[in-house]
Amino acid sequence: MPILQVELLKGRTVEQKREMVKKVTDAITETLDCPKEAVSIIIREMELENFAKAGVLKADSK
Amino acid sequence: MPILQVELLKGRTVEQKREMVKKVTDAITETLDCPKEAVSIIIREMELENFAKAGVLKADSK
Amino acid sequence: MPILQVELLKGRTVEQKREMVKKVTDAITETLDCPKEAVSIIIREMELENFAKAGVLKADSK
Amino acid sequence: MPILQVELLKGRTVEQKREMVKKVTDAITETLDCPKEAVSIIIREMELENFAKAGVLKADSK
Amino acid sequence: MPILQVELLKGRTVEQKREMVKKVTDAITETLDCPKEAVSIIIREMELENFAKAGVLKADSK
Amino acid sequence: MPILQVELLKGRTVEQKREMVKKVTDAITETLDCPKEAVSIIIREMELENFAKAGVLKADSK
């Protein structure tokens, strides 16, 4: 039942997401002792104007 | 003050969401002993390429 | 694959949670056209000092 | 390491978000005794049909 | 309806949380043009073994 | 800036969490093309009475 939420800035390809969920799921099952089928991953993509670090929007700091 | 976050794959109609929030709110107020006004529901819709089960993107498993 | 996160103030009994997840799951399956097995619910309980409305901690407004 | 997630109805300008993350970050660093660089803010915007209060979609209650 | 979730490492006092929710709520209402009553804040506190940066648990990096 | 939230049932050791965040961070950096320092992981542990699948609490289905 591990459920993961992954927040990312926009711009990754489907191929990158495909590899990511495969490898992250492997990392979870190897270390937490649970079957692959139990792992769910939600990906959320953010626009650059929807993430801030140190009080500055990513859209302004690039 | 119950606050619910509901993650869904894309594709539901407004009519389905309307019915869902009505019935889920009823279920919460009946069982948790709180007024209807206290219940907030956030719906988040995911693209098929943004959800994975068992290490495989939904976009690939359909 | 609906995944729900339910934020509650502390104090509900296991019996209340049992009824809640049963009824909320029914509400989801009836309105969103998905099997019961696809519905996951995460419950998170908050101390009164960890929730605020209108800038005031619940611990101070009771 | 404070990480904030801010859920909003759609419609704010970039200028409003810019001011918001600046002032919220200041409020966090002043009260929680942590450096500005440690504060991350995720903004999530909702369509009116994706938020409900008291069992009614915002899209229907406006 | 802004709803904020604030993730923190454990160790803040109630007094610090009280000041934080007050100032963060002010920052939100001033910049997003919404009444104080509309702002909810959820605080979640993490043990040092439940947060990691750069692949290392906070419990190990202190 | 990938930020991950990992929801788990209670019961893992610190050693398991240490291995998990190390391997998950590697999986993220390898596939999403970002430095290790940019990856944050929040772990949230649930009691068996705070997770439900198919309308049944985990505390009741074991």
The residues spanned by each domain of chain F are 3-61
| Alpha-carbon gap, residue C22 to C17, rounded angstroms | 8
| Alpha-carbon gap, residue F13 to B25, rounded angstroms | 37
Q: How confident is the model at residue E24 (pLDDT cuts 50, 70, 90)?
A: very high
Nearest C-alpha in A relative to F5: A5
Tell me how close the Cα of F15 comes to any Cα of chain C, in angstroms: 25
* CATH H-level superfamily of A3-61: Macrophage Migration Inhibitory Factor (3.30.429.10)
Q: Which residues of F fall below an 8 Å CB-CB distance to D?
A: 1, 3, 40, 42
**Cα distance from N-terminal residue to C-terminal residue, chain A:** 37
Range A32-42 average pLDDT: 96
Tell me how close the Cα of D40 comes to any Cα of chain F, in angstroms: 9
Q: Is E35 a catalytic residue?
A: no
CA D37 to each of CA A54, C60, D29, D43, E5: distance values in angstroms, whole numbers, following the listed order: 4, 31, 9, 17, 19
The interface predicted TM-score (ipTM) is: 0.96
For the stretch D10-59, pLDDT in tens is 999 999 999 999 999 999 999 999 999 999 999 999 999 999 999 999 99
Catalytic residues of B: 2
Residues 6+ apart with CB under 8 A from C3: A3, A40, A42, B6, B7, C40, C41, C42
Indicate the residue of B3, B4, B20 with minimum beta-carbon distance to C31: B20
Six token digits for residue F42: 């929040």
The closest alpha carbon to C4, from B49, B55, F50, belongs to F50
